[in-house]
Structure 1
Amino acid sequence: MDTSRALALSVFASYFLIILALFSSIVSGITTTRRVVSGGKTLTFVGLALASFAHTWLYMFKFLAWSFHEFEHSNAVAAGSILERTSNWLLNTGLFEQAWTAVCRKPINWWWSEQLCLFTVGAWTIFLAVEGRRHQVKNLWAYMLLGQLVAISVASNLFYVALLMSPTQRPTQRQAVSQTWTVLTMSVVLALATVALSPLTSENTFLWNLLTMHSIILLPLIRLPILERRPSEIGVSIKSLYTLVLVASLAIRSRTILNTAAATQEQSPFGLLAQAWSTLHSHPAQASIGWDVIWTSISFIAWVSLRDAGEAAVAKREDVPYLMLTTPLVSVGLTAPYILREDGPSAEGEVKKE
């Protein structure tokens, strides 16, 4: 086996090793906390994490098998050992681009994918950065990277477990402004722009736009000493940032729903949902990301329903029926910032008291 094939197999194996390392880092950080919480709540989110992982990765493995057989069928090659065939497939197939192209190529496909993108770059990035630091959760970047490599539903459920298991500590004003407000605001705004631009990209710009979307939201989750030494006053309050995400996501989502309705010639919201459901299993990559959207939505509703009273300033469990009714229609990318923005005054107040 030549060097290029060995390198291709090594990169593929490294992908799974990185995932294992991320799981290990997150679980290690959670298990070292000392807070005693309700076992029922913790087990609920552990169960949701396991269920979403098993379900989304069932389709992920189906996608890998589909890609492998599609490559060999298209190129009429099936000779050699399994390692040679696998390395040949990996060398000549852009799996990341292939998967994302499949889930973005038509308006009805993007109807699914955009929901996960809006939730991830908007509400969840803010939630990770703010609540993660307030609860002293270790390795916040690992949750985001795990979500990108495995599934957002898996990473978000593990983060809910981490919040339940971690103590609460008020951030200092220096940390809040320099580490959270400034970098977070800029990252979220730019990432939302990449989501808005995604349907307008070409074959040459699609991948670069997607990579920008994935990388920029890691910045507010990484400790940057230079920002801690030189705090800046640039940024907005937590509630204002959630509101900004809500308004921007509403505009982006409305455009996508109208484009999808026009493409499918469906005028009824329920007819559009029926079309989306039939598209869900049209391709294994589509099924993986589609079910990631569904599990993420279910998990967020569970979090709003089960979180401690102290976790919400205004938004209470009465929001659950609203979430269950509206999330399938407008997506968790909109309902999440709407609910979480009501937590802003509490967190903002903590900063001002320092």
Structure 2
Amino acid sequence: MADVSNARPLAIFTGYLVTCAALAAGSIAIIRKGASRRASSSGGHRPGAIALFSVLAAGSLAITWYHMLNFFRWSYQEWASNQAATTLADGELHLGEWLRDTTLFKQAWASALETAPRAWWCVQIFGFCANWSVMLAAQERKRNIPHLWILMLLGQLVAISVASNLFFLAVLVHDQAAPAAESSRKGSKRQASQTERASSVGFWYDSIVIVTIGIGLSTTPAFGKSYFMYLLLTPHILAFAPLLLNRLMPGEASTSALDKPSMLTKVASMAAIVSWATYAVVSEGGDWDTIVRTLHEHPALSSVGWDVICCWVSYTAWHIFGET
């Protein structure tokens, strides 16, 4: 039998790493451009907050990707243990064969959602991502920050906590945009239509949060079913919906929409997720000690779990030091 080429899986994996690096560079460019523009306009900086979220971004990257690299190593070792001894007799790394035979995304999430205590950690990331996706869209309108889809894609490929902290830095260095002046010649009917559309933006933002979290929570009961991967991919796709909504409904948004998601939405959604996940653990006879021990039970879970922990730290810091 002819040898199967490993070029394609190696190219895909290399492309993934290069894309992550390019997105990180693009995110930093957004921040630097905003800081440069603000400095030239004599706008005030908040060096303390900027230093804080820079440290949080670097720290969350280090800890989540320490565990991500451990997951890659575990995945390779798991693959190697299932190979014939003659296949690995040369003692070399067989990265191409490993990547060809392994679906890393599916393997990682299947491992992370396998039990209720593991899912306790993982489902929270759906809540953070859903709320953050609306924060991105609202601040895009409020501050005219360009290319925020780069940050969202970075969050999907690297870690939500890393991209969130870079987003907080972008917000800190971009001033709020002045509202566009209304033309006196606009008809009252057109103004009424624009007002109605501006008010509906907030409704759609909240709806996206609710739907995304609902689908994210449904992944656990669907574990092992044929449609599991479709459910798992849906929240990742819906994360871009608020930014897409800005393109479909351009123009002014109501003041309340620019501050979405509200504190009530953020607190209520995360409380609902934690309560639901905790009930699932307790119903299986688990407790808090079970949840804590599970955090380092599998490297894929550790990466997501520490992403969640970093999100809690970063979003709390943003509420205390960033939004003031």
Q: TM class by shorter-chain length?
A: 0.7 to 0.9
Q: Deviations over 1:105-132 (max 9, x none)?
A: 10000110111111211x2122111123
User: How far 1:138 moved relative to its partner?
Assistant: 1.7
**Does the CA-based 8 Å contact 1:132-1:163 persist in structure 2?**
no
Aligned match of 2:209: 188
C-alpha root-mean-square deviation of aligned residues, in Å? 3.1
Aligned match of 1:280: 295
2:278 paired with 1:257: yes
1:132/1:188 CA distance change after superposition, 3 Å: same
Q: Deviations over 1:212-248 (max 9, x none)?
A: 110111122247655449x999x98966876456545
1:28/1:263 CA distance change after superposition, 3 Å: same
Q: Which has the higher contact order (CA 8 A, sep 6+)?
A: 2
Aligned match of 2:162: 154
Q: Deviations over 1:131-175 (max 9, x none)?
A: 232122221111111111111111111011111111111566679
Distance 1:248 1:43 in 2: 29
**Does the CA-based 8 Å contact 1:136-1:169 persist in structure 2?**
yes
User: How far 1:308 moved relative to its partner?
Assistant: 5.1
Aligned match of 1:48: 56
Task: Select which of 69, 72, 81 maps to 1:73.
Answer: 81
- Aligned-partner SS, 1:58: helix
Q: Deviations over 1:291-312 (max 9, x none)?
A: 1111111111111221253xxx
2:318 paired with 1:303: yes
Distance 1:46 1:237 in 2: 25
2:130 paired with 1:109: no
1:17-96 matches, within 5 Å, as 17-33=18-34, 34-35=37-38, 36-76=44-84, 77-79=87-89, 82=92, 85-96=94-105
Kindly tell me the number of residue pairs found equivalent between the two proteins.
299
1:287-298 matches, within 5 Å, as 287-298=302-313
2:230 paired with 1:208: yes
Q: Which has the higher helix share?
A: 1
Aligned match of 1:124: 132
- Aligned-partner SS, 2:45: coil
Distance 1:246 1:264 in 2: 27
2:14 paired with 1:13: yes
**Does the CA-based 8 Å contact 1:194-1:212 persist in structure 2?**
yes
Distance 1:154 1:74 in 2: 34
- Aligned-partner SS, 2:21: helix
- Aligned-partner SS, 2:176: coil
1:169/1:207 CA distance change after superposition, 3 Å: same
Distance 2:265 2:319 in 1: 21
1:176/1:253 CA distance change after superposition, 3 Å: farther
Aligned match of 1:341: none
Query: What fraction of aligned residue pairs are identical, expressed as a percent?
Result: 31
Aligned match of 2:187: none
Distance 2:267 2:316 in 1: 17
Distance 2:138 2:257 in 1: 13
User: How far 1:254 moved relative to its partner?
Assistant: 2.2
1:244/1:30 CA distance change after superposition, 3 Å: closer
- Aligned-partner SS, 2:284: helix
Distance 1:239 1:117 in 2: 17
User: How far 1:4 moved relative to its partner?
Assistant: 4.5
AA at the equivalent of 2:220: P
Bigger drift between 293-302 and 241-250 goes to 241-250
Q: Normalised by the size of structure 1, how large is the TM-score?
A: 0.75
Aligned match of 1:325: none
Distance 2:83 2:53 in 1: 44
Distance 1:158 1:239 in 2: 19
User: How far 1:75 moved relative to its partner?
Assistant: 2.1
Unaligned runs of 5+ in 1: 267-271, 310-354
User: How far 1:252 moved relative to its partner?
Assistant: 4.2
**Does the CA-based 8 Å contact 2:134-2:261 persist in structure 1?**
no
User: How far 1:29 moved relative to its partner?
Assistant: 1.2
